[in-house]
């Protein structure tokens, strides 16, 4: 194990640290898609819906809401987004606004979205092997099996996430967890998540989106997904609609028929 290298502070103003610039990563100047379309296309594998980049849970039709598209920096203002353009932390031709560019997004299951957006974990890009690696910064037991391993984000994709945005997310994580060790230990050799290897998502570090899904591939689901309230709201709305319809019918019946 080796300590996770730290970024030197203050962060540079003329672009991200070496190795994290969008040009150095071979990213195109402009995103080719809208946010939703771009993230779905990039994070889909085997013709399924998008996978959770961390645990490999994928969305079945009956599980609407289990996989969600979320932002790397969820509350960034358009003004801050434009400042990142000016500083060349992201492409000057990035889509307008942080909520419209797929390179500020990724697909995660409900559990891991909560942990990522609540600043419990870090996703660190490693320029030397071009992988995005999960760091269990808050030392959460359920995340430990994913710690120090590369997740299903493809830096070679035309809509690859900006590595620089994960640096800013990491700064927030460190700010939210000042009691945690600054240099958590990570493996010497970065490997892919177990489900990525067992499922054949990568072949010599190249992602395969179009291969038929293997029968023996089951997404890891170490923690059961939180029950979505979406379906509950839909059922409630259905009951309200039925009640209003019956009420209107009885009023009409009483007035004109009875
Ligand atoms: Zn997950």
Tell me, in angstroms, the distance from the centre of ligand 1 to residue 72's CA.
15
Tell me, in angstroms, the distance from the centre of ligand 1 to residue 256's CA.
57
Count CB-CB contacts under 10 A for residue 183: 10
Closest CA to 184 of 152, 147, 129, 132: 147
Rounded to two decimals, the pTM is: 0.80
Which protein residues have a CB closer than 5 Å to ligand 1 (ion)?
52, 54-55, 57, 109, 112
pLDDT of residue 258: 65
Tell me, in angstroms, the distance from the centre of ligand 1 to residue 111's CA.
6
pLDDT of residue 225: 44
Q: For the chain, how far is it from start to end, CA to CA, in angstroms?
A: 82
Count CB-CB contacts under 10 A for residue 85: 14
Q: Which sign, positive or negative, has the C-alpha torsion 227, 229, 235, 239?
A: positive
Walking along the chain (258 residues) 10 residues at a time, the average pLDDT comes out as: 95 95 89 85 77 86 75 95 96 93 94 96 96 97 97 93 97 95 94 92 81 48 43 54 72 74
pLDDT of residue 60: 62
């Amino acid at each position: 194990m080796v300590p996770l290298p730290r970024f030197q502070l203050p962060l540079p103003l003329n672009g991200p640290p070496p190795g994290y610039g969008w040009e150095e990563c071979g990213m195109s100047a402009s995103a080719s898609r809208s946010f939703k379309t771009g993230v779905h296309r990039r994070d889909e594998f085997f013709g399924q819906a998008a996978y959770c980049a961390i645990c490999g849970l994928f969305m079945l039709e009956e599980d609407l809401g289990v996989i969600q598209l979320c932002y790397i920096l969820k509350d960034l203002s358009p003004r801050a987004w434009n400042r990142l353009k000016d500083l060349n932390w992201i492409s000057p031709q990035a889509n307008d606004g942080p909520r419209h560019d797929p390179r500020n997004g990724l697909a995660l299951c409900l559990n891991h979205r909560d942990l990522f957006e609540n600043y419990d974990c870090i996703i660190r890009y490693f320029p030397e092997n071009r992988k995005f690696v999960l760091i269990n910064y808050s030392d959460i037991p359920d995340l430990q099996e994913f710690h120090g391993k590369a997740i299903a984000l493809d830096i070679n994709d035309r809509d690859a996430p900006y590595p620089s945005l994960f640096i800013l997310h990491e700064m927030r994580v460190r700010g939210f967890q000042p009691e945690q060790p600054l240099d958590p230990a990570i493996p010497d050799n970065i490997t892919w998540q177990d489900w990525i290897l067992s499922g054949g998502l990568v072949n010599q570090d190249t992602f395969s989106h179009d291969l038929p899904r293997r029968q023996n591939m089951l997404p890891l689901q170490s923690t059961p997904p939180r029950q979505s309230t979406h379906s509950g709201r839909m059922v409630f709305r259905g009951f309200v609609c039925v009640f209003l319809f019956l009420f209107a019918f009885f009023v009409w019946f009483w007035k004109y028929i009875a």
